[in-house]
Amino acid sequence: MTPEQYCEDKAAGSGSSFYYSFLFLEAEARRAITALYAFCREVDDVVDECHEPDVARTKLAWWREEITRTFAGQPQHPVGKALVAPLARYNLPQEYFQEIIDGMQMDLDCNAYRSFSELTLYCYRVASVVGLMAAEIFGYEDRRTLKYAHDLGIALQLTNILRDVGEDARRGRVYIPEDELTRFEVSREDLIAGHSNEQTRALFAFQAQRAQQFYQQAYAHLPEVDRYSQRTGLIMAAVYEATLEEIVAENFPVLARRVSLSAPRKLWIAWSTARREKRLHLERAQC
């Protein structure tokens, strides 16, 4: 198996909404974003699948070394080998990869956030940094696109947090800020026990509204000149927004189960969004 095939299998096997957005990319960009996503999956799996925190820390330390080796042209892991060509082609700073690992380290060292300000750092490391590198791979002319990528990363991560709130709580991780739990009269124990009531639904509605605000902020930052090149991010956003809307429509069942879209629906959203963006691009080119 080639390093590229390893990354492809890692991305496809995750069942993530991100994979569907990759299908509409040109070959070189698709290989690059798939390798980046495979790296994210590898380090995320370290935290999720290692039941011993010390073992997880050791594995994350290995990945830090692997990133150093990869930038030196001496990777050992298939993902590192698949990243060599993208690193030569695109502006993907080494410190961004280390920031992602820092975010995973936060899952080991911190299981609560006092405020949204503290949570924002986590979201930046595990999502916005990925968005910034993705923007480099997709290409842009206007640097305002980087602000779009940053805010879209926050929006996607906030959607993840709401979608997975019950599952994460049972793992001992609560990402909803503590001051907001207090404001809505919800305790960590309520989330862990799955107590769905008027207070938890109001809390979740607040989280959903904030996520939607970040989607709108992101779209407002995206210049028209870069909209078509960034269409893959817009596909990701469309799938995640549809998931968020489904959570709201079902009145926030997230403590009992994870709300997700079917594979055919994700593919339809991806295809229709790609088609819309191509149409708009052709219309703008004719003006």
Task: Report the predicted TM-score, pTM, of the whole model to 2 decimal places.
Answer: 0.93
Residue span(s) of the chain under CATH 1.10.600.10 come to: 110-287
Helices (H) and strands (E) in the chain, counts: 16, 0
Residue 281 has pLDDT above 90, yes or no: no
128, 154 Cβ separation under 8 angstroms = yes
21, 236 Cβ separation under 8 angstroms = yes
Q: What is the mean pLDDT of residues 48-67?
A: 91
Residue 15 has pLDDT above 70, yes or no: no
Q: What is the mean pLDDT of residues 155-179?
A: 95
Q: What is the CA radius of gyration of the chain?
A: 19
* Least confident window among 71-85, 123-137, 168-182, 272-286: 272-286
For the record, the structure tokens of 66 come out as 């692997």
CATH class entry, domain 110-287:
mainly alpha
Residue 58 has pLDDT above 90, yes or no: yes
- pLDDT bin (cut points 50, 70, 90) of residue 49 is confident
Question: Taking CA 47 as the corner, what is the angle to CA 45 and CA 53, rounded to the nearest 5 degrees?
Answer: 145
Report the 10 Å Cβ neighbour count for 148: 26
